Amino acid sequence: MAQPKKNLNSQEAGVQPERLYQKLARDLFSDLVAGRYAVGDRLPAERELSVQYNVSRPAVREAMIALEVQGLIEVRIGSGAYVRKLPGEADAPGFTVTAFELMEARLLIEGEAAALAAVHIRDDELVELERLVVEIERENRLPGGSTDADHAFHMLIATATRNAVIRNQVEEMWRLRSTSPNCALLLEKARTANVQPVVEEHKAVLDALKARDPAAARAAMRGHMSAVINHLLFATEEEAIEAARRNVATTRERYARAAQL
């Protein structure tokens, strides 16, 4: 018999609202504590959890990453999530800034930063941004996934706002990008899936800044940030697709050999 959907959207009176992925992570954490799963067991598939808990698949993905960061589960490409260790009854799920929360904030703040920079940016800064776009393209061809030029590009725009508070906020968001375990894990998955800074998106921001057009700069930066969010959402799916392709190729070769017997 199919299990009824669990509604994670309701709140108890007086309880601080949580994001859906946090509620799902807590439920799965409780299942681990209660012994519903043993070490080595495979958790239900992302699609099943999405239906069972009535949440989006991105929310399921964030919950899995939260548990993976704590070392409780291991997500295997093309196979699923497996229990790595069980928490004790005194343990509690921990949450850090997620990559999606960070990108949402960057979309809002850096979009406005670009609009303000379009008013105040100097000619020499535009020249440097143009050089950095070329450097981003060069870094994309190098092994290791360096994002130094990407970082410098965004920080220069923040500096060009001539607003120290905005610059500090952008700098802090980039710090969180590497120090938050959740962000670091998902970005590592994105690198594995060969997700890289898109040169054309940076060129669009640069062109709007050259035109000294605040509205166009805001739209270009927000478009860039939205695209990054989509790349992160599908990073693990791209890995799974690639694994599926390899499996199909192996199966095809097997049956081709069998046909020759």
Mean pLDDT confidence for 38-64: 89
Instruction: Spell out a b/e string for 10-39, using b for 16 or more CB atoms within 10 Å of the CB, else e.
Output: eeeeeeeeebbbbbbbbbbbeebbeeebee
Residue 194 to residue 200: CA distance in whole angstroms:
17
Taking the alpha carbons at both ends of the chain, their separation in whole angstroms is 44
Say yes or no to pLDDT of 54 above 50: yes
Give the range among 99-103, 143-147, 180-184, 245-249 with minimum mean pLDDT: 245-249
Q: How many CB atoms lie within 10 A of CB 120?
A: 13
Alpha carbon separation from 55 to 2, 11, 58, 147 (Å, rounded): 17, 15, 8, 33
pTM of the model: 0.68
Question: How high is the pLDDT of residue 188?
Answer: 75
Quote the CA–CA distance of 241 and 239 in Å, as a whole number. 5
Q: Tell the residue number behind the tokens 């360096």, with chain if given.
A: 146
Looking at the chain, the whole-number percentage of residues with pLDDT higher than 70 is: 79
Average pLDDT value for residue range 231-253: 54
Averaged over 208-231, what is the pLDDT?
94
- The 3-state DSSP class for residue 81 equals strand
- Report d(CA 5, CA 55) in Å as an integer: 10
